[in-house]
């Protein structure tokens, strides 16, 4: 996603003569670049599994003040 965004920003700054060459290249490359970011969104999903097990102890401390 980040690489495709950078490509769409350059043709705007290049001269008119180079724009034709940049447009032809940008038409074939973005299709091949949109294949990697899809494989990176697979790790952060495995990290959201531990914090759920920590919210289990503070619940056992609210049981002593009732003995008064």
Write out pLDDT tens, residues 3-48.
444 555 455 555 666 666 655 655 555 555 555 445 555 545 555 5
DSSP 4-61: HHHHTTSTTTS-HHHHHHHHHHHHHHHHHHTTSHHHHTTSGGGTTTSGGGTTTSGGGS
pLDDT (mean) for 58-63: 54
Confidence at residue 5, expressed as pLDDT on a 0 to 100 scale: 47
Per-residue pLDDT at 40: 53
Query: Comparing C-alpha atoms, which of 43, 27, 24, 33 is closest to residue 4?
Result: 33
d(C-alpha 46, C-alpha 55), whole Å: 18
* pTM of the entire predicted model: 0.13
């Amino acid at each position: 996603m980040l690489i495709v965004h950078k490509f769409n920003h350059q043709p705007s700054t290049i001269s008119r003569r180079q724009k034709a060459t940049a447009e032809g290249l940008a038409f074939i490359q973005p299709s091949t670049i949109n294949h990697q970011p899809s494989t990176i969104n697979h790790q952060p999903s495995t990290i959201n599994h531990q914090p759920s097990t920590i919210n289990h102890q503070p619940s056992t401390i609210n049981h002593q003040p009732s003995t008064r």
